[in-house]
Amino acid sequence: MAQQGLCTVDVLDPEDPRCARVVFAGKVALVENNTEEFKFAQAALFERHPTMSSWPDDHSWHIQKLQNFDEIWLIDIYGGGINQLSCMHQ
């Protein structure tokens, strides 16, 4: 919510537990250059992080995608986060 500016609507500090955040963890895979998927991912990445479009090629960074989720961790209220993925499998 903080990244989208939604917490300020409810006058919440981004560190307030009611300002929800989610963390995705799992296996990643390289997105192959010059594919439609790569073009889409790169456009989305540069829209969110415009300065990255000017990063030098010799920094050897590449675009990856999360392909298998091991954990989806959510905190949206007081009392700590919960592993949403494990809750879905119970």
For residue 19, the enclosing domain spans 1-53+62-90
| Regions in the chain scoring below 70 on pLDDT | 1-4, 6, 10, 14, 77-82, 84-90
What CATH number is given to the structural domain containing 6?
A: 2.30.110.10
Residue-level pLDDT at 16: 73
Residue-level pLDDT at 12: 73
Dihedrals phi, psi of 40, to nearest 5 degrees: -65, -45
Q: How many domains does the chain have?
A: 1
Residue-level pLDDT at 84: 67
